[in-house]
Amino acid sequence: MELLNNKIYKIVIAILFVAISMNGFSQCKNFTKKEGFPALAPYTHNGQLTSAKFIPGDEAELEMTFNGGNDYRVLIVSQEMLGDVELKILDKTRKVLFTSKPGDEKPHWDFRVKNTQQLIIQVKVAEMKDISNGIVPEGCISILTGFRSSAAAEKLLKLSK
């Protein structure tokens, strides 16, 4: 009987784990759609969801290839309760090429690359010193990257002048 109880307990825990994971993904998806995509325009996103749940002190890195002849926007959207989120762009030798300003609500960087190369997008959630009621906030962060042709962007710029 005890063995059966343990089995049931494990199954219920597994269901609970899956339910929580699904809830987390769904929350991130809706958040990204609402807050991320409009802020990425006029750049075209790459059709891949890169988001996860974070808590203060968490850190993430995304490695991707940026093609010569294109302009890019790297954008971070995070849920308010997480507080300050820092965006850094590093090259493969880990030399820092860009650091966002503290307090930036939607840290982002627009840039173009001369030669195709891999860069590292680093995201850090600031530590929270005063956690009220002993509750650690958890929220979604999405890393969005969009691109457009540099030549097309130059044409648009000339037309607008």
Partner 1 sequence: MKKYIYLFVIIFGTYACGNSSSDENSSNENSTIDADDAKSAERAAKAKKVFFTVPSPYETALIFERSGVGYNIGVLNPIDNVNNYSTNVKQALNFGVYGADLSYANIFDQSQQCMFYMNCAKKLADGLGVTSAFDAETMERIETNMNNRDSLMNIINDSYWIADSYLKENGQDYLSALIISGGWVEGLYLGSATLDKDNPNAELMESIANQKYSLDNLIGLIELYDHPEVDKMKIKLQNLKTSFDKITTETTETTVSTNNEMATIGGGSTLTYTKENILEIAATVKTIRDGIIE
User: Per CB under 8 A, which of residues 18..47 are in contact with partner 1?
Assistant: 18-23, 25-27, 29-32, 34-35, 44-47
- What is the nearest approach in angstroms of partner 1 to the Cβ of residue 75? 13
Q: Does 7 bind partner 1 (CB under 8 A)?
A: no
Residues 56-115 close enough to bind partner 1 by CB under 8 A = 56-71, 79-81, 91-93, 95, 97-98, 109-115
- What is the nearest approach in angstroms of partner 1 to the Cβ of residue 80? 7
Residues 126-145 close enough to bind partner 1 by CB under 8 A = 133-139, 143, 145
User: Toward partner 1, which CB reaches closer, 8 or 102?
Assistant: 8
- What is the nearest approach in angstroms of partner 1 to the Cβ of residue 129? 14
DSSP reduced 3-state for 54: strand
User: Toward partner 1, which CB reaches closer, 103 or 134?
Assistant: 134
How far, in Å, CA of 143 to CA of 93, rounded?
A: 21
How far, in Å, CA of 90 to CA of 144, rounded?
A: 16
User: Toward partner 1, which CB reaches closer, 57 or 102?
Assistant: 57
CB burial class (10 A; 0-12, 13-18, 19+) of residue 92?
exposed
Buried b (16+ CB within 10 A) or exposed e, 5-23: eeeeeeeeeeeeeeeeeee
Residues with Cβ within 8 Å of 153's Cβ and at least 6 positions away in sequence, in order, are 71
Number of residues that bind partner 1 (CB under 8 A): 80
Of the chain, the end-to-end C-alpha distance in Å amounts to 79
User: Toward partner 1, which CB reaches closer, 80 or 130?
Assistant: 80
